[in-house]
Amino acid sequence: MKRPSVWLCAALLLMSFVFSPNPMPVQAETRFAAIGTGAVTGVYYPTGLAIAKIVNEKRRTYGLRCSVESTGGSVFNVNAVMSGDLEFGIVQSDRQYQAVHGTAEWTDMGPQKGLRAVFAIHSESHVLCASENSGIGTVPDLKGKAVAVGNPGSGQRGNFIDMLSEYGMTYDDLGRAEGLKASESSKLLQDGRIDAFVYTVGHPSAFFKEATAGRIKVRFIPFDRDKIAALIKRHPYYVPAEIPMEYYPGALNKERFVPTFAVKATLVTRDDVPEDMVYAVTKEVFEHFEDFKKLHPAYEHLTKEGMLQGMTAPIHPGALKYYREAGLME
């Protein structure tokens, strides 16, 4: 029998591609979406990676590829999303609120009208951490001390100012207020060049595991419960919280929980980011919720309902489409 020619085989193969029913619509072009996060040892960065990992599994279906950028944090991310440098950003819920209302860092720029909410993620609590030899045990002890108050693009900077004012204090009461990133602060504290620093982050975090394992021992400074209550009364976006010290056995604290206040990490985007792009990100994270939850220990208490709380910007139509389809919203 005559063997079928190579050409015949190739033609048959080509026809099978052309005429076979395509089970999944595949987008011809790949679009890119950058997610702004925070320092690599924080929780925003692994959160960006977790979202990207889940969405990128379907990159051929949606023609969408997410990438993750390490940034200065919440304030930077809001501004980079608004300027079009990023499609998505992870930001503290209090920063989302302030950007929408044109307060705090947005007082001069005014309300960020194009900012859109996608979903909320883990809760983040504010930590004031001091070295053993600084002698700091309470907030008033910060008087005259060198404190890293957070880099200008960070979320924590505003949280610290808010809490200081509950104690009737400002930066002027500190010996020195340094605008350093959390990663730099921890190193400088270990070098004995600063006494304390602040960071608003999810727990447990790689950052505090490292910061509590250095040669110089550190203590998480508790905030007074009446000051926390007064802070929450004044600012609707804060909630009371406790940091479980079992996460950080290297810290000097003997108590099991350190009282503080918290916000939520939220994902934001801009009104002109395409609906199908935001839909894809929302749908994939929610439909793979259990897989997502396994990607970081700070997601332990995450629920789908909780992921719909803490948003003040209007919800992006792409996210809303999914929430309605899934029966999570009216």
Q: Which is nearer to ligand GLU, 70 or 328 (CB)?
A: 70
Angle between helices 156-166 and 93-101 (to 10 degrees): 90
Rounded distance between C-alpha atoms, residue 156 and residue 94, angstroms: 10
- Closest separation in Å from C-beta 196 to ligand GLU: 17
Pick the binder of ligand GLU from 54, 62, 74, 319 (CB under 6 A). 74
Tell me if 131 contacts ligand GLU by CB under 6 A: no
**Token couple for 261:** 């206040």
Tell me if 266 contacts ligand GLU by CB under 6 A: no
Q: Which is nearer to ligand GLU, 44 or 62 (CB)?
A: 44
Tell me if 94 contacts ligand GLU by CB under 6 A: no
Tell me if 44 contacts ligand GLU by CB under 6 A: yes
Separation in Å, CA 203 to CA 52, 196, 264: 21, 19, 12
Q: What one-letter code names the amino acid at 170? A: T
**Token couple for 130:** 């001091």
- Specify whether the CB–CB gap between 94 and 171 falls below 8 A: no
In this chain, which residue has its C-beta nearest to ligand GLU?
73
**Token couple for 205:** 């975090």
Rounded distance between C-alpha atoms, residue 148 and residue 186, angstroms: 9
Q: Which stretch binds ligand GLU (CB under 6 A): 58-66, 100-108, 188-196, 199-207?
A: 199-207
- Specify whether the CB–CB gap between 273 and 313 falls below 8 A: no
Tell me if 42 contacts ligand GLU by CB under 6 A: yes
- Specify whether the CB–CB gap between 196 and 147 falls below 8 A: yes
**Token couple for 301:** 């208490």
- Closest separation in Å from C-beta 226 to ligand GLU: 25
With CA atoms as reference, report the closest residue to 78 among 151, 153, 150, 152.
153
Using DSSP, state whether 230 is helix, strand or coil: helix
Rounded distance between C-alpha atoms, residue 103 and residue 96, angstroms: 10
Tell me if 43 contacts ligand GLU by CB under 6 A: yes
- Closest separation in Å from C-beta 151 to ligand GLU: 8
Q: Which is nearer to ligand GLU, 38 or 318 (CB)?
A: 38
Q: Which stretch binds ligand GLU (CB under 6 A): 35-43, 99-107, 277-285, 304-312?
A: 35-43
Tell me if 155 contacts ligand GLU by CB under 6 A: yes
Interface size with ligand GLU, residues (CB under 6 A): 15
Tell me if 38 contacts ligand GLU by CB under 6 A: yes
Tell me if 120 contacts ligand GLU by CB under 6 A: no
Tell me if 204 contacts ligand GLU by CB under 6 A: no
Query: Sign of the C-alpha dihedral, residues 87, 92, 94, 98?
Result: negative
Tell me if 124 contacts ligand GLU by CB under 6 A: yes
Tell me if 241 contacts ligand GLU by CB under 6 A: no
Q: Which helix (H) or strand (E) holds 92?
A: strand 88-92
Q: Which is nearer to ligand GLU, 136 or 201 (CB)?
A: 201
CA atoms within 13 A on the CB side of 170: 1
Pick the binder of ligand GLU from 200, 212, 266, 282 (CB under 6 A). 200
- Closest separation in Å from C-beta 299 to ligand GLU: 12
Tell me if 73 contacts ligand GLU by CB under 6 A: yes
Query: Sign of the C-alpha dihedral, residues 72, 74, 76, 80?
Result: positive
With CA atoms as reference, report the closest residue to 95 among 147, 36, 146, 40.
36
Q: Which is nearer to ligand GLU, 43 or 285 (CB)?
A: 43
Q: Which is nearer to ligand GLU, 44 or 323 (CB)?
A: 44
Tell me if 154 contacts ligand GLU by CB under 6 A: yes
Q: What one-letter code names the amino acid at 298? A: A
The residues that touch ligand GLU, with contacts defined as CB under 6 A, are 38-39, 42-44, 73-74, 92, 124, 154-156, 200-202
